[in-house]
Structure 1
Amino acid sequence: MKIVVIGGTGLIGTKVVNLLRESGNTVIVGSPATGINTITGEGLSEAMKGTDIVIDLANSPSFEDNAVMEFFQTAGRNLLGAEINAGVKHHVALSIVGVDIMQNIGYMRAKQAQEDLIKRSGLPYTIIRSTQFMEFLKGIADQATQGEEVHLSHVLFQPIASDDVAAFVTKYAIGNPINGKVEIAGPERFEIHEIVARYLHRASDPRKVIANGKPEYFGGEISNAALVPAGQAELGSINFEQWWSKQ
């Protein structure tokens, strides 16, 4: 099969590209660096010729509210339009667990807009909603740092390793479209302050984690269980200690 991976040079994209190629597929890496730009439309029509599956893993270069909304709406319209014209048979997108209940956060509003465009497109699709990646733990700590303290809440957190994410994306991409969403998560559930403290300890980072009790995530107030699956989810096989041992 011919598969185009938009965002194929990123954290998840590079892993997905490798997995797909190992199983004998023809894979096109889509990014501005390879001449395929979902914002300007450059290279999209040519890339879509004869394509069976498109996997959208691209992310906005800016998380500012207006910029991130503009990115996902513009990229979504251009990409889906090119796929419709080319007769692509399956559109796969990576989204976020709880995105629909965190609409007070600009990034989540933009991801919901992306999902809505896919659903309205008429293309056969699969939306994969993932919990946060273990690779994000340092960034979460950094954005919550005040001096030598990291102030985080008791919000539930179920991080997943990027290797597991890539494996799930690959599995669902080569399967039949479900015309709906699936959720994936890591095998262990923590309170967010707990897992970040464990990460900092393993990294020999001297910052102290303070559990402040405020249910916030990147500046927005959320419910205690917003970041974890509400119902059935597929769980990855890599726990935190196994992930850390490979870092």
Structure 2
Amino acid sequence: MDIAVLGAAGTLGHHLVTHLEAAEHTVRALGRRTGVDAVTGDGLAEALQGTDLVIDAISTPSLSSRRAVATHTRAAGNIARAAEQGGARRVLCVSIAGAADPEVHKHFAYYRGKAAQEATYLDAALPVTLVRSTQWFEIAGLLLSQASFGPVALLPTMRMAPVSADRLAARIAREVEDRADDDSADRTFALRGPKELTSAQLVRRILARRGDIDGRSPRLVAELPYLGSAIAGGGLIPADAEVDDMDLEEWLRTSA
């Protein structure tokens, strides 16, 4: 297949490109670095012309709910239209488990944006595959970057079942292979890791093994439920998810 990956330089995107190319697909690795901007639409129509499948793996965090919803809605709408006009048979959107639940996203702008993204694709003309992933092990660096104050990190309490971004990419690649000839209906699947952790537990265990995360090594890591009780209490863990078998300890042993 000819597959366009938007967000190809990101944490998940580069793994997607690797797995899809290993399966001998033609992969268009797209993003702002290649002159393609999904939010403005610049370069999008040309980049998606003649592709079979479009994968949206773009991540655009925002602290403003209004901006997050507007940005995700605009990008998804632009991608869906350009994909249809370019002849694609399907769009695959990488989303977040639980983000579409109003109780989960009501205090978190980025998740409101992801909910709007899902809704936009579900309303589009092309069939969509929604991939609802739990948080990745790699989220630890982002959490620290947003919640560190000198030697202290005050994280949002998030009960999660984290999964490896590489394992998620491999599962998406298998989905592409298994469903290559089935393009008539919308589909959804969820993937989670095997063990539940809170955000602070995840960060502490990585720090204990590696000493720092992306150059940060706070002396105190604490957490408070400032993103709401649903996120703190397990709303990010889907009951119907497939369970990957790589836990944090294995990921730490095998990842760079």
Asked if TM exceeds 0.5, the reply is: yes
Unmatched 5+ residue regions in structure 2?
212-216
CA distance, structure 1, for counterparts of residue 141 and residue 32 of structure 2: 27
- Provide closer, same or farther for how the CA distance between residues 45 and 238 of structure 1 changes in structure 2, counting only shifts above 3 A: same
- The question of 1:193 aligning with 2:193 is answered no
- Residue number in structure 2 paired with 1:103: 105
Of residues 102, 126, 131, the one that matches 1:128 is 131
- The question of 1:209 aligning with 2:209 is answered no
CA shift at 1:119, angstroms?
0.5
CA shift at 1:94, angstroms?
0.4
- Residue number in structure 1 paired with 2:174: 171
- Residue number in structure 2 paired with 1:65: 65
Other structure's SS at 2:27 match: strand
- Residue number in structure 2 paired with 1:183: 190
Tell me, yes or no, if the aligned pair for 1:37 and 1:44 is still in contact at 8 Å: yes
TM-score (norm: length of structure 1): 0.88
Tell me the alpha carbon deviations over residues 4-32 of structure 1, each in whole angstroms, 9 at most, x when there is no partner: 11111111111111111111111111112
2-11 or 182-191, which moves further after superposition? 182-191
CA shift at 1:95, angstroms?
0.4
- Provide closer, same or farther for how the CA distance between residues 147 and 41 of structure 1 changes in structure 2, counting only shifts above 3 A: closer
Tell me the alpha carbon deviations over residues 173-226 of structure 1, each in whole angstroms, 9 at most, x when there is no partner: 34245513211111211233322221221232452334x5x433xxx2132011
2:123 corresponds to which letter in structure 1? R
Unmatched 5+ residue regions in structure 1?
none
Tell me the alpha carbon deviations over residues 22-55 of structure 1, each in whole angstroms, 9 at most, x when there is no partner: 1111111111221222123222222222211000
- Provide closer, same or farther for how the CA distance between residues 23 and 208 of structure 1 changes in structure 2, counting only shifts above 3 A: same
- Provide closer, same or farther for how the CA distance between residues 209 and 39 of structure 1 changes in structure 2, counting only shifts above 3 A: closer
- The structure 1 segments of at least 4 consecutive aligned residues displaced by more than 4 Å after TM superposition are 152-155
- Provide closer, same or farther for how the CA distance between residues 153 and 21 of structure 1 changes in structure 2, counting only shifts above 3 A: closer
RMSD: 2.1
CA shift at 1:66, angstroms?
3.1
TM-score (norm: length of structure 2): 0.85
- Provide closer, same or farther for how the CA distance between residues 45 and 207 of structure 1 changes in structure 2, counting only shifts above 3 A: same
CA shift at 1:153, angstroms?
6.6
1:100 corresponds to which letter in structure 2? A
